[in-house]
Amino acid sequence: MNWSLPENIATYGGKIDALFWVITVVTAIAFVLVEVGIIWFCIKYRRREGQRAFYTHGSKSLEILWTAVPALAMVALGLYSANVWAQIKGRNSAPSESLHIAVSAKQFEWNVTYAGADEVLGTSDDFSTRNQLHFPANRPILVWLESEDVLHSFFIPQLRVKQDAVPGMTIPVWFEATKAGDYQIGCAELCGLGHYRMRARVRIHEPEAYEAWLDEQIAVRTDPGLPTAVAATAGSGGNDVDDGQEARHEHSAGGM
C-alpha cells in the first residue's frame, strides 16, 4: 500500500507536496487529539455504579478556545494556499518563454498539436500526434487545452497537473518538468464508456533529444514518399472489399 505521493518531476510540484505535508501534520494533530480523547473518555468515564455525571452546560472559555484555534489555523492555511494557487493556476502565472502546445481531447483520445519549427501555433508547419505528448525537460510548457465533445480532465500525476478540458473553452495549463522520462496522461473526468482507457504517453526529452525528435517528425511529415492507396500494391492492408451477397466473411485486412 502506498502512503505517500508519487515521484515529483514538476518545478512547482515541491510547493504542492509541501502543502500536503503541512496539511497532514495539522490534521494529524487534530486527529490524534480527537481520537485519543474519545477513547480516553470512553475508558475513564465509563458507567460505574453510583457515579453521577458532572452537570454542566458548557464552558465559554473552552468554546472560544476551540473556535479560535481552528479559525486561525484555517486562515493561515487559506493564505498559504492562495499564494501557491496563484503561482500555479493564476491567469498570468505561465512563464513568458513557455513552449506552446495545443491538446485537444475527444472521446477517447488525446490529440496533441505541436507548433513545429517556428514555435507558433496556428501556422502551416503545425503537426499532430495521437495519444503522445512530447516536450523537453527544463522548459516551461504551456498547453492550450480543449475538448471536442464532453468534459475530460488532463492529469499527469508526476507533474502534479490536472485541468478539466471543457468543450467551448480553451484553457491554458502550464508546467515544467525537471527531468526526462516516460509518463502517462490520464483522463480524470468521467467521459463515457472508454474513460478508463483514455490515456496517452508523455515523453519528456532532454532538450537536445527533443530537437532531434522535432526534426525527425518534420522530416517524416514533409516526406512525399507515401504511396497512393493502390489496392493491388498496398503492402500491409490489401483489398478490403465486399460483394454483398457472397463471401462476406472473406477479408484480409484494411479498410480505413
Partner 1 sequence: MLEKTGLLATVAAAGLVWACGGGGDADTGDGDTAADAGGETAAPVVDPATAGAISGLIAFEGEAPAAERIDMAEEPECNNAYPGEGALTQNALVSSDGKLGNVFVYVKEGLGAGFPTPSQPAVLDQENCRYHPHILGVQVDQPLLIRNSDPILHNINSQPSINRGFNISQPQAGMETTRDFGMAEVMIPVKCDVHGWMSAYVGVVDHPYYAVSRGDGSFSLPNLPPGDYVVEAWHELFGAQTTNVTVGEGATAEVSFTFNAGMARNAVPLGDPLIIKHADDGSITAVREQSGD
Partner 2 sequence: MATIVAEPTGIPVVEEHHEMSFIRKYIFSSDHKVIGIQFLFLSLFFLLVGGLLAMLMRWQLAWPGRPMPFGGLFPETMAPDGIMLPEFYISLVTMHGTFMVFFAIMLLLVGVFANYLIPLQIGAPDMAFPRLNMLSFWIAVPSGLIALASFAVEGGAAGAGWTSYAPLSGMPEYSGVSMGQQMWIVSLVLLGLSSILGSTNYITTVINMRAPGMLWTRMPLTVWALFVTAILGLLAMPVLSGGLIMLLFDQTIGTHFFLPETGGQPLLWQHLFWFFGHPEVYILILPAMGFVSEILSAGSRKPVFGYKAMVGAIVAIAFLGFIVWGHHMFQSGMNPVLGTSFMVSTLVIAVPSAIKTFNWMGTMWRGNLHFHTPMLFAIGFVMLFVIGGLSGIFMASAPFDIYIHDTYFIVAHIHYVLFGGALFAIFGAIYYWFPKMFGRMMNERWGKIHFALTFIFFNLAFFPMHTQGLAGMMRRLYDTTGYTHTADLQGTHLLITISAFALFSTGVIFAINFFGSMFRGERAPPNPWNATSLEWQTPSPPKHGNWEQAPVVYHGPHEYSHPDVTDKDWLAQNERPDVVSPAGH
Distance CA 161, CA 139 (A): 15
Applying the rule CB under 8 A, the residues between 70 and 129 that interact with partner 1 are 91-92, 94, 96, 100, 102, 106-109, 111, 113, 121-123, 128-129
Distance CA 23, CA 81 (A): 10
56 or 228: CB nearest partner 2: 56
9 or 214: CB nearest partner 2: 9
With CB under 5 to 8 Å by kind, the binding choice for 4 among partner 1, partner 2, none is partner 2
**36 makes contact with partner 2 (CB under 8 A):** no
Applying the rule CB under 8 A, the residues between 155 and 214 that interact with partner 1 are 170, 172, 192-194, 197, 200-201
Indicate the residue type of 195.
H
Phi and psi at residue 146, to the nearest 5°: -135, 165
Closest CA to 115 of 149, 148, 141, 146: 141
Distance CA 222, CA 224 (A): 6
Applying the rule CB under 8 A, the residues between 126 and 145 that interact with partner 1 are 128-132, 142, 144
Cβ atoms of 178 and 138 closer than 8 Å: yes
37 or 237: CB nearest partner 2: 37
Cβ atoms of 159 and 13 closer than 8 Å: yes
Indicate the residue type of 215.
D
Q: Smallest gap, in angstroms, from Cβ of residue 117 to partner 2?
A: 31
With CB under 5 to 8 Å by kind, the binding choice for 228 among partner 1, partner 2, none is partner 1
Closest CA to 84 of 21, 166, 147: 21
Which residues sit at the interface with partner 1, rule CB under 8 A? 91-92, 94, 96, 100, 102, 106-109, 111, 113, 121-123, 128-132, 142, 144, 148-149, 170, 172, 192-194, 197, 200-201, 226-237, 239-245, 248-249, 251, 253-256
